[in-house]
Structure 1
Amino acid sequence: MDAVPGAGVAVTAGAVIVAAAVLTQLRPALRAVRSSRKAAEAWAQDRRADARRAVSEAREDAWTALGWCLTALVVLGAVWFLFANDRAVQRTFFDRDVIGISISEIASAFGTNLFIAVVAQVLILVWGLALALARMAPGRAGRPLRLLATSYIDGFRAVPAIIIIYLIGFGLPLAKVPFLSSLSPVWFAILALTLTYGAYVAEVFRAGIESIAPGQSAAARSLGLSQSSTLRHVVLPQATRRVVPPLLNDFISLQKDTALVNVIGTIDAFNQSKIFASNHFNLSSVTVVAALFILITIPQARLVDRLVAREQRRGKGA
């Protein structure tokens, strides 16, 4: 392919922008120099409090300047990487023609990823809670349940999700299991992800339940509530609030792992992008898939940060 006209102008403009950003961040460095001089003068005049304050300001300004300069260097390196080798990287991953051709079909196929993620999340919540309660079954009567739940959780956490998807997607039809073998690849993917992530979510629920002070359960039982009522009305509501951030983290991972369903032939966004990539010998369609996942996961990641910060503020207030 020929170089796109104006590429040199774009490179020059990018370099000018980065250079301007670097020069702007020289202000903290200049403040650090002035603060260092003030500190030296204060030490010479035996004004120790003023000297320590000036040293602290100089140190903070110096680290600020260094941080922004390193950030500008990273941005400059990324710009250079995109335009290096006659813009080969940009043509391979960000070709506008390929993106324009593929984006509508990939976005439509991405609906399959979202459907798998949403349905699996609902099933995982139910299955994970059941596993957590089974692992915490009290007394000698609950020991068999504890052993089964522990074995299940350890086993499914040890095996990669892609292997579970492969075994279920191809194994159940080969084994001709009644009802299950007739499911579509989408439901095979939902089943596999539910079984896998249920083990992780069970541990999250268990941690949340065990974080509730035992005195609350004792107080509820002393008021006449049964074990199940105590768990339902006292323990689980508090535990659920505490585990929302880690649950959201698991569900973010689940949404990304929906791309693994392509191994069993499900036409999701990744499989659709591979079709375009093989037809056009270009990976820009795969970049579209990456952008779609970024659009749905980053807002959730920021939501997790807000929930964690709110929980920390609530803990400090208590």
Structure 2
Amino acid sequence: MTTDTSQAPRLTSLSHGGGCGCKIAPGLLAELIGKSALPKQFFPDLLVGTETADDAAVYRINDEQAIVATTDFFMPIVDDPYDFGRIAATNALSDIYAMGGQPLMALAIVGMPINVLPHDTIARILEGGESVCRAARIPLAGGHSIDSVEPIYGLVGIGIVNPRQMKRNADARAGDVLILGKPLGVGILSAALKKNLLDEAGYRAMVNATTQLNRPGTALAQFDGVHALTDVTGFGLLGHSLELARGAGLTACIDSASLPVLPAVRGFAEQGIWTGASGRNWASYGAQVTLPAGMTDAQRALLTDPQTSGGLLVSCAPEATDQVLRLFADQGFGAACVIGRMQDGPAQVIVQ
């Protein structure tokens, strides 16, 4: 059945927050999880749980195999339904790559306002997600759907990893180099899009970044020089760098001048265009971050900007830097670059 989409509302108009900007603020999330988490000692084969806010759960099957399980879903960050489905699916599978795993299959999570959105629009969202699963060479094997007030889409991702090769976010070492795989600014561009200020070139740059699968994560698991791995998503670069620092008991130093940034992002930030999640992020973890004197609100907003389907953040030995950058370049991540280092010190982030 086809439906008339000419009077359909903009997808982003139906959501109070888009993409990973929908996330619960990190401080509140930690409080909620702390009140509900089961003690890990009851599950000796649960290698990764909630202890370090890692990207996915990992459960050991045997000495050679462990299951990687994750789920991620959110409300629309763009108005094109096919692009929304692609972005949400790419973002969900990123958590498996961020553990060094290989995706095996996915299940769809679908919540749609059935009486508000044309059925063709909903079908295009699902098609977008299916296209990403085909690109990842995995089956979309099922899922669950509900009639909801706001449109929601995402995936449950199931993957596999050798437990001796998995990469946690807690194993960085002093002296490690930090490498970021994708440019920053997705949240700022999404805020510009909502205000009808983003041109076609800016939109394409945002979609291209957010639909690029973080495949290098699987290969990075095999590099002995890679010690820790995560992806930069809703808590921004500072939030996920702080997770690395907390997990390892080290200080993460970020070189703000070296950060890769999507086109037009700095200009929008200077105009005060960014998401509310930037402020919530800063309120949650700003006490553990040292910024350089004279840093502007716009510059800080880029550091706290929620990234939807953002890049991998790699902590590796200095001698592995060229190998890691070469892998990123070979797989089409031309913006990947060194952005900082890990050093001895308290669990905090220092921006230089």
TM-score by length of 1: 0.21
Structure holding more strand per residue: 2
More helix by share: 1
Larger radius of gyration: 1
Higher relative contact order (CA 8 A, sep 6+): 2
